[in-house]
Amino acid sequence: MTDAVTGTDFIALLREHGQWPQARLGDPSATLGLESTEATTILAVRYRDGVLVAGDRRATMGNTVVYDRADKVLMVDDRSVIAIAGSPANAYEIVRMLEMSFQHYRRSQLQELSLEGKLRTLSRLLRENLPMALQGIGAVIPIYATYDEADVTGKIFFYDMLGAQFESVDFCTTGSGSTMIRGALYYHNRWDVPLSQMDEGQSLELILKMLETAAEFDTATGGFRPIANVFPQVMRVNAAGISSIEESVLESLYETRLSQRRQG
């Protein structure tokens, strides 16, 4: 069956061959007694040259910290990344299927899938995940960031668990700690230097401050831990492609700011 957006319905093809676990997602009995692992705070900020996407590293199960080095910002292709909040197991599977869908389209159509097609493919995958989300243990709330070469700018898109997609012009944050920092980001964008006019260094420093603030007031969000050498995960999306901010850069920035504060 041909899809108007993707050219080939890759997800339907997998389901036809028994590779897409639709039955598992709709089976409430499979989740009884389970408490799922949750990823927590993620955010994306559009700066002068692109987008910075970041997340803390903590994964929780109820009130228990199960892991403090979780990757919540994942590369999908050469131009886009996804940050995940919610169930990491389901999110990682959705990201894997999204990456495979993009590759399938590229190889079968001999061209890149359009931005609209990529956004709609992610919406479909989130809708496929709805049965798990309704059971309360499998919700995935992602942020999708890309660099649009046609508009020569970074773009940020937010999704709800039903797959509805919204474009965020300047910033976006979701997860358990997002309520603590959304207002601060709005205030900074409104009354201080606009986020879109910041250089990368300014934007990075703001992101680290926001994650530290979220960690202070939200127990599910992990903060900077110098003794354990745990840092947030930050990726840049710009005209040059996608790359990670090195932990050595984050460590230097933390040490510089904390040292200045002690001296001041």
Show pLDDT as tens, one digit a residue, over the chain (264 residues). Answer: 344 444 456 656 655 655 555 434 344 334 444 456 666 899 999 999 999 999 999 988 878 888 899 999 999 999 999 999 988 889 999 999 999 999 999 999 999 999 999 999 999 999 999 888 888 778 899 999 999 988 899 999 999 988 999 999 999 999 999 999 999 999 999 999 999 999 999 999 999 999 999 999 998 999 888 888 899 999 999 999 999 999 999 999 998 876 676 665
Task: Return the pLDDT at 18.
Answer: 56
What is the pLDDT, as a whole number, of residue 2? 41
The pLDDT value recorded for residue 235 is 98
Q: What is the CATH number of the domain that holds 207?
A: 3.60.20.10
- DSSP annotation of 15 reads H
Alpha carbon separation from 122 to 83, 87, 128, 158 (Å, rounded): 13, 16, 10, 11
Residue 3 covered by a domain: no
pLDDT at 131: 87
Within-domain flag for 103: yes
Residue 129 lies in a domain: yes
Predicted structure pTM score: 0.85
CA distances from 19 to 29, 101, 111, 123, 227 (A): 21, 13, 25, 19, 43
Rounded-to-integer distance, Cα 61 and Cα 213, Å: 21
Three-state DSSP at 242 gives: strand
Residue 2 domain flag? no
Asked about 64 being catalytic, the answer comes back as: no
Helix (H) or strand (E) holding 154: strand 153-159
pLDDT score, position 126: 95
Structural domain contains residue 41: yes
pLDDT of residue 13: 60
93 within domain boundaries? yes
Q: Are strands 233-238 and 241-244 parallel, antiparallel or unpaired?
A: antiparallel
Q: Is residue 1 part of a domain?
A: no
Residue pointed to by tokens 């976006």 = 172
Query: Can you give the residue range of the structural domain that contains 150?
Result: 10-263
Quick one: tokens of 247? Answer: 């932990």
Residue 200 lies in a domain: yes
- Cα–Cα distance for residue pair 113/103, rounded to 1 Å: 9
If DSSP states are collapsed to H, E and C, what string results for 19-85? CCCHHHHCCHHHHCCCCCCEECCEEEEEECCEEEEEECCCEEECCEEEECCCCCEEEEECCEEEECC
Q: In total, how many domains does the chain have?
A: 1
pLDDT at 66: 87
pLDDT at res. 1: 39
Q: What is the SS3 assignment for 178?
A: helix
The single residue of 6, 40, 173, 174 carrying the catalytic annotation is 40
CA distance 39 to 214: 13
